[in-house]
Structure 1
Amino acid sequence: MKKLIYIFITLLAIGLLGSCKKFVDVNTNPNAPTVVDASTLLPPIQAGMARGIWFDSRYIGQYAQIWGSNVANNVWDEHGYLPGTDSGGEMWRTIYFSLGQNITLMVQDATDHSKPDYIAVSWALRAWGWQYGLELYNNMIVQEAYDPTKLTFDYDTPDYVNAEVVKDCRLALQYFAQAKADGQTISPVLAKGDYMYYGNRDQWIKFVYSIMAQNALNLTNKASFSADSVKKYVDLSFTSNADNASVQCTGSSSTDANFWGPTRGNLAGFRQSDYIVKLLDGRILAGSATQDLTADPRLPLLLMVSKDGAYRGVIPPLGDPNSADPNTLIPAFVGATTANSGTASAKYLFNDNARGVFMTYPVLQFMAAEAMYKKGDLQTAYNYYRSGVAAALDFASNPPIGNALVGSQKYISAAAQTAYLNGLSVRQSSSTLKLSDILQQKFIAMFLWNPIEAWSDERRYHYDATVFQGYNKPGTLYPDNAGKLVYRMRPRYNSEYIWNIPALKAIGALDPDYHTKEPWFIQP
């Protein structure tokens, strides 16, 4: 990592507030401020969070098999990586640069000027970063991360990183409790710089509990796993889609448009997977032998239809076998389509000004469902499962747009939602509920916006074909894998493999197959 501190005054590539950016080196520039108002730091931090998730999701989505490359033998489809590049390292950059010292400066200003809301938010976002860092990279630099006297940095063990997530969440809750002593739900001070919840303290507290739920659930393979803790945190978190965590995108140009919108076209080289197609067309969940285009009303919102009216997906790493036939080729993601139209309509989160989503109510409901299922409380698991499916339908029908946390569109009719809930793709009793039903409905609910958590689920179950029934293990694997599937991302090349080699060697990150080694959070 470099010693420079980058403060993004505008919001980088997705620029929520503008299209320019200014870099401030507060360590060496005597003309630059060493104290910056917290309200000017929070918007670019939030934008950096979205950028990190989005940029890395392109590659992790290939690992998770949400989509794949349109050409054969792509290294990510083969569970490999691109050596000597920062591809797959954007979340690393987000944690240490976009958040990094900017959060430290935000805490400094908030402490000096008695703004406990901003201190609380700072700890919440620190926890969010460490949680995703743990899931993606396993070992992280925590204790020495922001020590200005060091040029190289030692990695902490993943259990230490996990403990840091919990500690930071509790600190966030502590400072929110202090802030709420004034009796206000909306903090006018926090609202000045907050493009997630616009100063709503209650929703920020729910967001903290969502991180705690995610953290607790991801330890399902450990003896210390507590299903009741997952349920507790879920119940303290979002109560509807109105609480979903997301950041505003204005969509006025490519610099401030949603990453998945047609203006940016960031998925042009990708095609929907065979797995997601089969989940939505009924061949997996409903047990249909052939495609049923009425199986899931989300199908025309989420996926692209070929000119002949059929939905197809790639089986990595084969690419699109129909690429030479304009009638059957798999269209690029350029906005969702309606059946048989073959034209973009920018629905769901493909809209230019759709919000950048971090966590949703339905996904949390599925987390509680899985935890209760593993506990053996099948009726409670079923209740959460049904709630999750219904809320996921509602989310797809009403995706958040602009500065609205809840969408105003209605892409799926109430009758269609009811028909799906009562149909073959959704279990009708606790006695018929399987773990695969929960995890695969969650997979659909996270489509596009959270490939990282989808991949974490698959890794927790070691890509088990009985849980992820349509997942196609690649027929050809990256040569360095030695026949093994991928299980972690490598640290960011430009900050670690150039500047921090001794520390990498200590954790085995110089090994050719390092990316295939199971991370701590999925180990017993």
Structure 2
Amino acid sequence: MKNIFKLIPVLLIVILTSCSKNLDINIDPKQPVTTAPNLRLPAILGNMAYHLYSHARFSSYHSFYITSRYNTSKVEALWNYNDVTRLGAWRWHYFDVGSNCLGMIERAEVDGTYNYRGVGKIMLAFSYLTATDSFGDMPYKEAYKGIYYPKYDTQEVVYAEIAKLLNDGIADLNKSNASDPTMNGTADLIYQGDLNKWKAFAEAVKARLLLHTANFQNGYDAVLSAVNTSLSGFSDAVFKYPTTPTKDWERNMWGASIARPEWNFAEIVNMLNNSVSTDLFMSYMTVGEPGLKFDPRLFKLTTPGVKNTYYGAKASEGLVVPNWPVPIPPADPVPPVMDDFANLYNGHWTADNSPFPYILKEELYFIKAEAAFYKADHATAFDAYKEGIKLNMQRLGVAESEITAYLASSKIKQDAASLEISDIMVQKYIALYLQAETWVDLRRYGYNAKAYPGIYYPAKASSEWAGKWIQRLPYDNQTEYIYNPQEMARLGATARNWVFTPVWWADKSTLKN
């Protein structure tokens, strides 16, 4: 087995492997060809934040959080990916995260240690789940085997393998003992070596995975079991950037500096400077009661426009505000320009030094609320729904008095009997602001207004799509379509409307009916 190493900033290590037992002139016998797990883990964790961002960069538009100021933008407004030449989200999984996870697992197996091996399997599972939820079918069984044209496994198979990785990772952590190498805060940038927290995180990933298929696999009991196990020891999984970043790779990719590090892909550079909140998002953030005009989280996620206004634009239509002029003081007969909309930078998640979430505790409560709701346990669903809202508001720094006022407002159901699925899903939508997981939820529900009141088909989405909703990201043009054309043809991924073909769990979902 030969290993080619490439070191780039913030330990962004890329390991390419192929099967060969012959002498390799690229290997210096005097230099090591493996990397110690404690040096590799920070790269995995940092790369995972970029991997998550590379999906959210696109899904945030498809989830109606934001829309481009340009109604001609091909991806954001027209939903046309046919001219995209690179899609870094594919590479972030297979090279930047996946290959490093496998390298760490292999080294830990050779060393006979379990802590790094277990964490490696859990992170590999999380990365695969993130990737397959955007792309669908993908190589698993033939990945990393030195096969030039790996077969794409069905998403159902990939899901089964992810579940196995999670269980195996937890089993490895349970075997860890004092003889294992130290895993401290220098190596483990998420949990500082606390293996119980890693096990709880694995259960959280499992709960997320199980929720995606529970509606058609009768799986809500399994979801509740996983989420309750996770909540018993869960701590937020968040990657933290330096307080005062000075280099591109030290900055959150959502930040106002718009980091363009040399190792990144141009198409995933954030466009928040040319984007605004949608009217759908603003409808969810508007309370409209005396003393409570907006959800107080709005002021933590964004900053007001120059006229201290908070408009929402029609998705895909540029700076078009519905029903203009709107009766929001100060009433202005002049249609708004870009500066009149909220600034999307320097919010809780969109500053250069903002943390980047893997999975947050409030998501687990909303998972619990949804699963309990479909089990007709409305009391449990109601309690979890309220707890998820409260946790999210506290995270964003909303004052307790404002939290109390919001929870007592007409925006929030006051008893279990009146709770509807839209209450749960809209609050989860707000809590997961800009996260790619929201796009999973929208597709599970078929963009259904029963779950997301007020949702509408974007006017500028190309007529070529015949009113179909966008369902997936295309595979990377510079690798898959060039080097594995047989699989692209077999899947039908060469079709212009490929991104409108539902992934497995969306196709099977009963929630869209």
Coarse TM-score class (shorter-chain normalised):
0.7 to 0.9
* Distance verdict in 2 for CA 1:26–1:497, change over 3 Å: closer
Which position in structure 1 is the counterpart of 2:161? 164
Deviations 1:223-258 (A, max 9, x none): x23211111111111458x71111121142233012
Q: CA deviation at 1:480?
A: 4.1
Of 429, 437, 441, the match for 1:457:
441
- Structure 2: how far apart are the matches of 1:4 and 1:417? 56
SS in 1 for 2:97: helix
Deviations 1:428-480 (A, max 9, x none): 100111100000000000003x1x21011111111011211132321132354
Q: CA deviation at 1:221?
A: 3.3
- Structure 2: how far apart are the matches of 1:268 and 1:523? 35
Deviations 1:323-346 (A, max 9, x none): 98559632442323xxxxxxxxxx
- Structure 1: how far apart are the matches of 2:273 and 2:211? 34
Of 250, 256, 272, the match for 2:277:
272
* Distance verdict in 2 for CA 1:413–1:55, change over 3 Å: same
SS in 2 for 1:387: helix
Amino acid at match of 2:172: Y
Contact 1:196–1:246, Cα closer than 8 Å, also in 2: yes
SS in 2 for 1:493: coil
Contact 2:60–2:66, Cα closer than 8 Å, also in 1: yes
- 1:194 paired with 2:188, answer yes
Which position in structure 1 is the counterpart of 2:64? 65
Q: CA deviation at 1:192?
A: 4.0
Q: CA deviation at 1:154?
A: 1.0
Question: Mean alpha-carbon deviation: is it higher for 90-99 or for 156-165?
Answer: 90-99
Q: CA deviation at 1:506?
A: 1.0
Length, aligned pairs only? 475
Of 435, 439, 446, the match for 2:425:
439
- Structure 1: how far apart are the matches of 2:107 and 2:290? 57
- Structure 1: how far apart are the matches of 2:237 and 2:404? 26
Which position in structure 1 is the counterpart of 2:228? 235
Deviations 1:166-189 (A, max 9, x none): 10000011001001x4499xx833
Which position in structure 2 is the counterpart of 1:359? 359
Which position in structure 2 is the counterpart of 1:144? 142
Amino acid at match of 2:157: Y
Amino acid at match of 2:55: D
* Distance verdict in 2 for CA 1:244–1:86, change over 3 Å: farther
Q: CA deviation at 1:51?
A: 0.8
Deviations 1:479-520 (A, max 9, x none): 542331111111111110111110111111112211111111
Contact 1:293–1:299, Cα closer than 8 Å, also in 2: no
* Distance verdict in 2 for CA 1:119–1:312, change over 3 Å: same
Question: Mean alpha-carbon deviation: is it higher for 77-86 or for 52-61?
Answer: 77-86
- Structure 1: how far apart are the matches of 2:238 and 2:108? 23
* Distance verdict in 2 for CA 1:374–1:156, change over 3 Å: same
Q: What are the within-5 Å matches in structure 2 for residues 220-369 of structure 1?
A: 220-222=214-216, 224-238=217-231, 243-250=235-242, 251-253=244-246, 254-264=248-258, 266=270, 267-282=272-287, 288=288, 294-321=293-320, 325=336, 329-336=340-347, 348-369=348-369
Q: CA deviation at 1:306?
A: 2.4
Which position in structure 2 is the counterpart of 1:100? 98
- Structure 2: how far apart are the matches of 1:212 and 1:499? 33
Deviations 1:266-318 (A, max 9, x none): 32122112111111112xxxxx5x99754411111113422222211221210
Q: CA deviation at 1:191?
A: 4.0
SS in 2 for 1:133: helix
Contact 2:52–2:130, Cα closer than 8 Å, also in 1: no
Contact 1:8–1:44, Cα closer than 8 Å, also in 2: no
TM-score by length of 2: 0.86
Which position in structure 1 is the counterpart of 2:378? 378
Q: CA deviation at 1:23?
A: 6.0
Which position in structure 2 is the counterpart of 1:175? 172
Contact 1:458–1:464, Cα closer than 8 Å, also in 2: yes
Which position in structure 2 is the counterpart of 1:400? none
Contact 2:204–2:227, Cα closer than 8 Å, also in 1: yes
Q: What are the within-5 Å matches in structure 2 for residues 80-159 of structure 1?
A: 80-86=79-85, 89-148=87-146, 150-159=147-156
Which position in structure 2 is the counterpart of 1:508? 492
- Structure 2: how far apart are the matches of 1:6 and 1:274? 49
Which position in structure 2 is the counterpart of 1:478? 462
Amino acid at match of 1:431: A
* Distance verdict in 2 for CA 1:183–1:280, change over 3 Å: farther
Say what the alpha-carbon RMSD is for the aligned residues.
2.6
Which position in structure 2 is the counterpart of 1:423? 409
- Structure 2: how far apart are the matches of 1:113 and 1:190? 18
Question: Mean alpha-carbon deviation: is it higher for 129-138 or for 435-444?
Answer: 129-138
Deviations 1:376-409 (A, max 9, x none): 1111111111111111111211xxxxxxxxxxxx
Deviations 1:122-172 (A, max 9, x none): 110111122122211110100111111x21111011110010111000001
Amino acid at match of 2:138: M
* Distance verdict in 2 for CA 1:104–1:90, change over 3 Å: same
- Structure 1: how far apart are the matches of 2:229 and 2:375? 19
- Structure 2: how far apart are the matches of 1:183 and 1:6? 30
* Distance verdict in 2 for CA 1:244–1:301, change over 3 Å: same
Deviations 1:30-69 (A, max 9, x none): 1364211111111111111111211331211111111111
Contact 1:315–1:472, Cα closer than 8 Å, also in 2: no
Which position in structure 2 is the counterpart of 1:409? none
Contact 2:379–2:416, Cα closer than 8 Å, also in 1: yes
Identity of aligned residues (%): 23
Q: Any gaps of 5 or more consecutive residues in structure 1? A: 283-287, 337-347, 398-411
Which position in structure 2 is the counterpart of 1:339? none
Amino acid at match of 2:228: D
Contact 2:302–2:345, Cα closer than 8 Å, also in 1: no
Question: Mean alpha-carbon deviation: is it higher for 436-445 or for 121-130?
Answer: 121-130
Contact 2:47–2:92, Cα closer than 8 Å, also in 1: yes
